[in-house]
């Protein structure tokens, strides 16, 4: 006999679990509600209502509008995460020797606070997220090599926060060890409190430990790794620890089809938001209002958030490259430079456009804009395999120098002196890698040759400050940058942000 309003947790196996994994299981809460008992006892069975237990992140069971069966995170299947971990283990064995045993430790981000009891929106460490798909803080992924013919053979252990009703009352549900195991498909899960005990087994000299202890992502957990593993190891065997981030970043450089699809969606959302912001523009609008318009349109179209604090810079403020105050009114006759992008389920977009707030370019504005656009188109066409970003940057500087001479902004300079002048008018690089972060995989050199599957930005600019007495008066106070996101392919590059208006006539018609 069931008591009224009692509930318990049942383990539902097979078809009632995650439908994509045969024989998998998931915790289902079954609530039993008070029923009216009739004289006939056989009709007195209680009414049962099944509700899927929420984990610490969306699943196909709780958020079918976001996550499909078999996915750990939106758009990324469980098998892809398993392959990433295998590729990492293969890479380090290839680099460091197949005879040694290897253990990789990757730590999640902590929760960060802007004030007492006021957390910043949580954003997972990209390396940890790339390998696990697990979005909760205060967690650790441990990969240990296993014997076998395949160098990718490994055992994956995820250590996660224990379920805690008191904390979940305030912070929301946690996956716990059972939920994390079923969600991610790792080999085993343990409580994060057991981290120290678990790591003891790797102290011996036959293990090569891979851990980024010089760049701690989570100070508390990194200290635990040091005290329980690294320091005793050093005392016992003088063994060194190898950094792992470069290997993970190398994998992250080349995107899978799933990642490209997510980045294309982020680009489409951002491009539409830019078009909406252009239509919304008018003399006297504030930079904050344009920022709000971009944020609103991105979120309404499905984005998680803006990927970074946007630059919305009217007039001469566009000559401050990372201007993010966005607190001024944009006057009639001024250009506005907007550098913004959304984040869509872990992948980001990065677009810059410059447009006249009145809807019509003045002649000097148009001349300078067309110069930057011409340079950008040439550089976009160079985004091909075997070309480096540094090479494209050199081309950009040469082209800027020539355009500055054509416009009469620079005179009587040639060669190296002209290139140095171009650096003054465009003090940033042409490009950076793009992916899970805006300035993605920062340890990867821009002198490396591009490969199919990489995504990069192309963003030339010319910036002429209002107090630049060497420039003609009509160009002073103008800053222009045009930026697109580019997928490297075997043939022509694919412009992911191609739907964002950038031709002069296209912008003016849109704003008319």
| C-alpha 441 chain-centroid distance | 10
Catalytic residue list contains 345: no
The one catalytic residue in 366, 428, 446, 489 is 428
Residue matched to tokens 């005179």? 411
Backbone angles phi, psi at 156, to 5 degrees: -110, 125
Tell me how far apart the alpha carbons of residues 228 and 364 are, in angstroms, rounded to a whole number. Answer: 65
Catalytic residue list contains 459: yes
Angle between helices 389-406 and 363-381 (to 10 degrees): 150
The one catalytic residue in 80, 343, 350, 508 is 350
Give the bridge partners for 356, in sequence order: 335
The one catalytic residue in 71, 136, 287, 339 is 339
CB 322 within 8 A of CB 294: no
Could you tell me the two tokens for 399?
Answer: 């082209």
The one catalytic residue in 15, 219, 322, 424 is 322
The CB density around residue 167, as the number of other CB atoms within 10 Å, is 12
Distances (CA, A) of 60 to 20, 72, 76, 171, 497: 10, 8, 12, 21, 29
Catalytic residue list contains 95: no
Residue (of 366, 276, 339, 320) closest to 464 by Cα position: 320
The one catalytic residue in 65, 117, 416, 490 is 117
Q: Report the alpha-carbon angle 412-415-416, nearest 5.
A: 110
Handedness of CA 419, 422, 424, 430 (dihedral sign): negative
Catalytic residue list contains 117: yes
Could you tell me the two tokens for 190?
Answer: 């343990």
Strand segments (E) across 243-367 = 305-306, 311-314, 335-340, 342-344, 347-348, 351-356
The one catalytic residue in 54, 347, 433, 463 is 463
Distances (CA, A) of 362 to 214, 334, 358, 366, 400: 52, 9, 10, 6, 21
Tell me how far apart the alpha carbons of residues 208 and 226 are, in angstroms, rounded to a whole number. Answer: 15
Catalytic residue list contains 428: yes
Residue (of 186, 191, 180, 192) closest to 27 by Cα position: 180
CB 370 within 8 A of CB 399: no
Could you tell me the two tokens for 212?
Answer: 């980024």
Catalytic residue list contains 463: yes
Catalytic residue list contains 54: no
Distances (CA, A) of 190 to 102, 140, 195: 20, 10, 8
The one catalytic residue in 136, 483, 485, 508 is 483
The one catalytic residue in 439, 503, 506, 509 is 439
**Residues whose CB falls within 8 Å of the CB of residue 28, separated by 6 or more in sequence, listed in order:** 9, 10, 11, 12, 16, 50, 51, 52, 53
The one catalytic residue in 287, 459, 484, 508 is 459
The residue count for the chain: 512
Q: Which helix (H) or strand (E) holds 88?
A: helix 78-96
The one catalytic residue in 432, 433, 484, 485 is 432
Catalytic residue list contains 63: no
The CB density around residue 22, as the number of other CB atoms within 10 Å, is 9
**Residues forming the active site:** 117, 322, 339, 350, 428, 432, 439, 459, 463, 481, 483
């Amino acid at each position: 006999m069931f008591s009224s309003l009692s509930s318990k947790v049942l383990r539902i196996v097979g078809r009632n679990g995650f439908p994509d994994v045969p024989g998998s299981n998931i915790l289902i809460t079954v609530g039993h509600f008070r029923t009216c008992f009739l004289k006939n006892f056989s009709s007195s069975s209680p009414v049962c209502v099944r509700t899927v237990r929420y984990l610490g992140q969306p699943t196909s069971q709780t958020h079918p509008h976001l996550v499909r069966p078999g996915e750990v995170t939106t758009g990324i299947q469980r098998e892809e995460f398993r392959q990433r971990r295998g590729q990492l283990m293969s890479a380090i064995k290839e680099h460091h020797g197949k005879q040694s045993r290897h253990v990789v430790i990757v730590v999640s981000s902590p929760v960060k606070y802007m004030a007492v009891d006021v957390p910043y929106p949580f954003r997972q460490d990209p390396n940890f997220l790339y390998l696990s798909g697990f979005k909760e803080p205060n967690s650790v992924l441990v990969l240990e090599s296993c014997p076998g013919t395949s160098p990718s053979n490994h055992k994956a252990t995820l250590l996660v926060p224990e379920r805690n009703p008191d904390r979940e009352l305030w912070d929301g549900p946690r996956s716990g060890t059972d939920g994390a195991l079923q969600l991610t498909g790792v080999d085993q899960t343990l409580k994060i409190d057991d981290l120290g005990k678990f790591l003891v087994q790797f102290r011996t000299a036959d293990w090569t430990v891979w851990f980024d202890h010089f760049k701690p992502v989570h100070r508390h957990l990194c200290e635990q790794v040091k005290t329980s593993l690294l320091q005793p190891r050093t005392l016992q065997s003088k063994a060194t620890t190898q950094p792992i981030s470069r290997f993970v970043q190398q994998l992250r450089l080349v995107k899978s089809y799933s990642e490209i699809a997510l980045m294309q969606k982020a680009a489409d959302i951002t491009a539409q938001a830019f078009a909406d912001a252009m239509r919304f523009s008018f003399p006297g609008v504030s930079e904050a209002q344009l920022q709000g318009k971009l944020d609103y349109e991105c979120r309404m179209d499905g984005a998680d958030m803006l990927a970074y604090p946007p630059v919305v810079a009217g007039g001469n403020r566009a000559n401050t490259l990372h201007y993010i105050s966005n607190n001024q009114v944009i006057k009639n006759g001024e250009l506005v430079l907007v550098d913004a992008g959304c984040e869509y389920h872990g992948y980001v977009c990065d677009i810059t456009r410059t447009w006249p707030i009145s809807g019509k370019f003045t002649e000097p504005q148009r001349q300078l804009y067309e110069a930057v656009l011409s340079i950008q188109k040439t550089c976009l066409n160079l985004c091909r395999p075997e070309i480096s970003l540094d090479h494209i940057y050199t081309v950009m500087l040469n082209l800027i120098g020539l355009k500055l001479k054509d416009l009469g902004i620079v005179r009587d300079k040639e060669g190296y002196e002209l290139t140095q002048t171009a650096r003054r008018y465009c003090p940033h690089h042409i490009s950076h890698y793009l992916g899970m972060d805006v300035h993605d995989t920062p340890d990867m050199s821009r002198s490396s040759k591009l490969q199919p599957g990489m995504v990069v930005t192309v963003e030339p600019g010319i910036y002429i400050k209002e107090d630049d007495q060497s420039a003609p008066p009509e160009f002073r106070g103008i800053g222009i940058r045009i930026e697109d996101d580019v997928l490297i392919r075997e043939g022509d590059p694919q412009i992911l942000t191609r739907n964002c208006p950038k031709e002069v006539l296209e912008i003016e018609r849109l704003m008319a």
